[in-house]
Amino acid sequence: MEGFTGSALFWWRSSAQSGAMSSVRRVALASSAGNAVELYDFLLYGTAAALVFDELFFPSADPRVAVLLSLATFGAGFLARPLGGVVIGHFGDRVGRRSMLVLTLSVTGVCTALIGVLPTYSTAGVLAPVLLVTLRVVQGFFLGGEQGGATLMAVEHAPPGRAGWYGSWTFLGSPLGLLLANAAMAAATGISGDAFLDWGWRLPFLFSLVLVGIGLYVRLSVEESPEFRRTREHGATVRLPVAEVLRRSWRTVLLGAGVNLGFTAFIFVLATFAVSYGRRELGLPQSLLLTSVLLGAFVQVLTILVFARLSDRIGRLPVMLGGAAFLAVFAFPLFWLLRSGSPALVVLAMLLGYGGSAAIFGPMPAYYAELFSARVRYSGVSLSYQLGAVLGGGLSPVAAAALLGATADRATWPISAYLVGTAAISGVCLLVIGETLRRTRVDGEVDEPAPS
């Protein structure tokens, strides 16, 4: 009887553990799928801004001015992201992670589909770019609340010692979204042919409705975060989470923003400006540029997982510091490879850029979650991460375009120097914050970190 009882107990524990792991994987996959749809919506705009929006919405006697205006609207979406992070983060800490993620996914997808039916400048005049920028700002607002919540759902469900691994599944949504956006744009180019500027560019934006439907189906199938449920059951929710974050952890917010600044500056120069530069300045084929981005995004999917798992083993700090160092070292070779004009070297530039940058990007979900306590984590993560995104990714394509025109021979060394500077900011902020992996938990909450 004792043997039977022991066996039954072992079976029950094994089944419970298996069920728990299955639940964690389902949550991580749902976070990844939802984030991929959101990033598809957001990054599709960046691809279109680099390729067609200058001609469709910002006609100008000087094509370079039109490109600058087009990239500036890409940055407009970033300006709304910190505000969205604060507002949606507030309700995420008060009401719950899951309901806010359903809202952000729905609204962002609708905005993307509406861009696909907008009139162009030739039809509606100045109203066309006004509507475009408005939808972009709304899109950015809701994305600002999406990424923090999606990462928390995965990290807060993760078992001990696996937060980096499962959290990174969320950020797989970024390269997967980029992969989908560029694949959709490439498919639309092939389908419409010479009519791409007439109606072909609209197809990827309208396709967003299909992806949103899939994302909502997956996202509605998961349960609320266990750490949020525990916080609510203990009556530990905060009336104004963002005020609590700014009162107790404002230094952490700023330092965390600095960590993300270097990465987003690099990745959006790579994903947006480099495509525009390659097409207009170097005369590279659009198909080559889109294919190289697709291959780079695929490599980043793999390297995100590798570096995130490594961060669970040896710590976030050494892995992410290595990533920041890569961003600085590769800033000059990136443009050397692009200017070669060799298809093989252009592809190599994208493979290295996307793959190497994952060292700082992959551990980020767990890293940011470990900076703030559960009762204000949604607000803290969203505000810190999105401030870095707007200062880095929101400004970098416009800054790169302006720096390109700052020299008489349109040299790229000022852009590379800019990327070295932003990478240095990330490295310094990482060193000041220090390691986060082994910060202790008390009653399910992370001790408030004090910068070293």
Question: Cα 377–383–384 angle (5° rounding)?
Answer: 90
Domain boundaries, the chain: 26-446
Percentage of the chain lying above the pLDDT 90 cut: 28
pLDDT at 64: 65
Tell me the one-letter amino acid at 200: G
pLDDT at 443: 37
Summary mean pLDDT of the chain: 82
Most confidently modeled range among 203-207, 215-219, 243-247, 349-353: 349-353
Q: Tell me the mean pLDDT in the region 277-290.
A: 86
Percentage of the chain lying above the pLDDT 70 cut: 87
Q: Tell me the mean pLDDT in the region 250-263.
A: 94
Of 205 and 447, which is predicted with more confidence? 205
Three-state secondary structure along 88-129? HHHHHHHCCHHHHHHHHHHHHHHHHHHHCCCCCHHHHCCHHH
Q: How far apart are alpha carbons 70 and 61 in whole angstroms?
A: 14
Task: Flag whether pLDDT at 446 surpasses 70.
Answer: no
pLDDT at 12: 33
- The answer to whether 207 and 185 have CB atoms below 8 angstroms apart is no
Most confidently modeled range among 195-204, 324-333, 407-416: 324-333
Write out the DSSP string of 157-214: HSPTT-HHHHHHHHHTHHHHHHHHHHHHHHHHHHHHGGGIIIIITHHHHHTHHHHHHH
pLDDT at 62: 59
Name the packing angle between helices 163-171 and 2-51 (round to 10°): 30
Q: How far apart are alpha carbons 1 and 257 in whole angstroms?
A: 60
Q: What is the pLDDT of residues 228-240, one digit of tens each?
A: 778 777 766 677 8
Q: What is the pLDDT of residues 33-78, one digit of tens each?
A: 777 887 787 778 777 876 777 788 877 645 666 666 666 666 677 7
Identify the burial level of 288 via C-beta atoms within 10 angstroms of its C-beta, where 0-12 means exposed, 13-18 middle and 19 or more buried: middle
pTM over 0.85: no
Of 358 and 167, which is predicted with more confidence? 358
Q: What is the pLDDT of residues 77-132, one digit of tens each?
A: 777 888 888 888 888 888 888 888 888 888 888 888 999 999 988 888 888 888 88
**Residue from 145, 129, 149 nearest 56 by CA:** 129
Q: Tell me the mean pLDDT in the region 144-167.
A: 83
Q: What is the pLDDT of residues 350-373, one digit of tens each?
A: 999 999 999 999 999 999 999 988
Task: Flag whether pLDDT at 6 surpasses 70.
Answer: no
> Among 51-65, 296-310, 418-432, 436-450, which stretch is predicted with the lowest mean pLDDT?
436-450
For residue 348, give both structure tokens.
Answer: 């190599």
pLDDT at 5: 43
Q: Tell me the mean pLDDT in the region 15-34.
A: 66
Which CATH number applies to 26-446: 3.20.20.370, 1.20.1250.20, 3.50.50.60, 3.40.50.10710? 1.20.1250.20
Q: What is the pLDDT of residues 380-404, one digit of tens each?
A: 898 999 899 888 887 888 889 889 8
